[in-house]
């Protein structure tokens, strides 16, 4: 199997291959039933393994370091967080032509969060703010523990400038381009984070939140975990919440004006990236990212 065969939407990663990988590296789990999950994320092919485990296999080189990063950091963070996060059980190595590390984790029950599925959006806003506050201070960023993962660092909005402006131009028939440009320019002008590096999730959207009975039950997929400016985690304010609940989230997390403005920029740029990359082929992505961008523009209209 070549990397290209895997990257073609993960079609090369069938149950036969996953079974062989398990049998050779984790034989104690090899006889458990496997069921591929649809839809899975853009980075990994995911299988349910038995009743209480999952297997995640990267779709491409861009996701190849995620298994090792989560296996190293999540056990160190989990006990310090108020919501469950995935518990890594093992990291598998390339074999049988599959070219990247892969992982087995404890299965977390729950359903993917939706805007309409929250029992109490205001309580969810407060609980998610509590989670992020705990994550930010969960471990000293300047830790004595060895850090083999150079990607655990934040990036700036400025590095996304060219791509974001191109995306704004590409969707000008769907969204208000001058308003998006104004939001983006304001985010780039906002003062940089000066509070010292803190931990962030890095990909916090409703697809990475689980709920049970409408209540927040877990946070998953820490592939974007890093340390630096926490503004990237503000994306969830426009992805999941509405004008009435965003202030609850912001107040509970005590977000300053500059971080909120940068966060709005992150919501715009990530929404545009997903919309232009996946919306044409994925109606769920189209709906969620359209809402995210629209919520950003609603807030912009209220302040101009």
Q: If you write DSSP's letter for every residue of 166-211 in order, what string do you get?
A: HHHHHTTTTS-HHHHHHHHHHHHHSPPP-S--EEE-S--SGGGEEE
What pLDDT was estimated at residue 83?
Answer: 98
Alpha-helical (H) ranges within 107-160 are: 121-136
SS3 (DSSP) at 272 = helix
Q: Is a pLDDT exceeding 80 seen at residue 160?
A: yes
What pLDDT was estimated at residue 276?
Answer: 96
Q: Is a pLDDT exceeding 50 seen at residue 1?
A: no
Neighbours of 196 (CB within 10 A): 9
Measured CA to CA, the distance from residue 102 to residue 275 in angstroms comes to 28
Q: What is the dihedral of CA 130, 217, 202, 175, to 10 degrees?
A: -100
The region of weakest confidence among 84-93, 109-118, 206-215, 220-229 is 220-229
Q: Please report which confidence band the pLDDT of residue 244 belongs to, taking 50, 70 and 90 as the band edges.
A: very high
What pLDDT was estimated at residue 43?
Answer: 86
Name the burial class of residue 129, with classes exposed (0-12), middle (13-18) and buried (19+) by CB atoms within 10 angstroms of its CB.
Answer: buried
Q: What percent of the chain has pLDDT over 70?
A: 91
Rounded to 5 degrees, φ, ψ at 91 are -115, 125
Rounded to 5 degrees, φ, ψ at 40 are -105, -175
Rounded to 5 degrees, φ, ψ at 19 are -60, -40
What pLDDT was estimated at residue 156?
Answer: 87
Yes or no: say if 231 and 136 are a contact pair by the CB < 8 Å rule: no
What pLDDT was estimated at residue 269?
Answer: 96
Yes or no: say if 77 and 202 are a contact pair by the CB < 8 Å rule: no
Average pLDDT value for residue range 57-67: 89
Q: What percent of the chain has pLDDT over 90?
A: 79
Q: Please report which confidence band the pLDDT of residue 149 belongs to, taking 50, 70 and 90 as the band edges.
A: very low
Average pLDDT of the chain to the nearest whole number: 91
What pLDDT was estimated at residue 200?
Answer: 94
Measured CA to CA, the distance from residue 190 to residue 182 in angstroms comes to 12
Average pLDDT value for residue range 189-218: 95
pTM score > 0.75 for this model? yes
């Amino acid at each position: 199997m070549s990397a290209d065969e895997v990257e073609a939407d993960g079609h090369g990663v069938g149950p036969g291959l996953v079974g062989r990988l398990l049998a050779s590296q984790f034989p104690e789990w090899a006889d458990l039933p496997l069921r591929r999950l649809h839809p899975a994320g853009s980075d990994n092919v995911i299988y349910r393994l038995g009743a209480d485990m999952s297997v995640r296999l990267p779709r491409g080189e861009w996701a190849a370091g995620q298994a090792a990063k989560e296996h190293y950091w999540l056990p160190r963070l989990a006990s310090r967080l108020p919501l469950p996060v995935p518990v890594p059980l093992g990291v598998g190595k390339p074999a049988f032509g599959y070219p990247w590390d892969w992982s087995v984790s404890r299965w977390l029950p729950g359903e993917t969060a939706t805007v309409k599925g929250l029992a109490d959006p205001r309580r969810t806003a407060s609980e998610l703010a509590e989670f992020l506050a705990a994550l930010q201070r969960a471990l000293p960023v300047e830790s004595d523990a060895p850090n083999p993962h150079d990607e655990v660092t934040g990036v700036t909005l400025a590095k996304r400038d060219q791509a974001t402006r191109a995306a704004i131009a590409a969707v000008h028939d769907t969204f208000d381009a001058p308003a998006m440009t104004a939001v983006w320019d304001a985010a780039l002008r906002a003062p940089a984070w000066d509070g010292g590096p803190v931990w962030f999730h890095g990909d916090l959207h409703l697809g990475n939140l689980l709920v049970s009975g409408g209540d927040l039950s877990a946070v998953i997929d820490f592939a974007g975990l890093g340390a630096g400016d926490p503004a990237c985690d503000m994306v969830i304010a426009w992805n999941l919440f509405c004008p009435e609940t965003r202030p609850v989230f912001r107040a509970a997390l005590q977000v300053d004006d500059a971080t909120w403005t940068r966060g709005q920029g992150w919501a715009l740029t990530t929404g545009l990236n997903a919309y232009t990359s996946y919306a044409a082929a994925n109606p769920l992505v189209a709906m969620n990212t359209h809402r995210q961008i629209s919520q950003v523009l609603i807030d912009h209209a209220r302040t101009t």
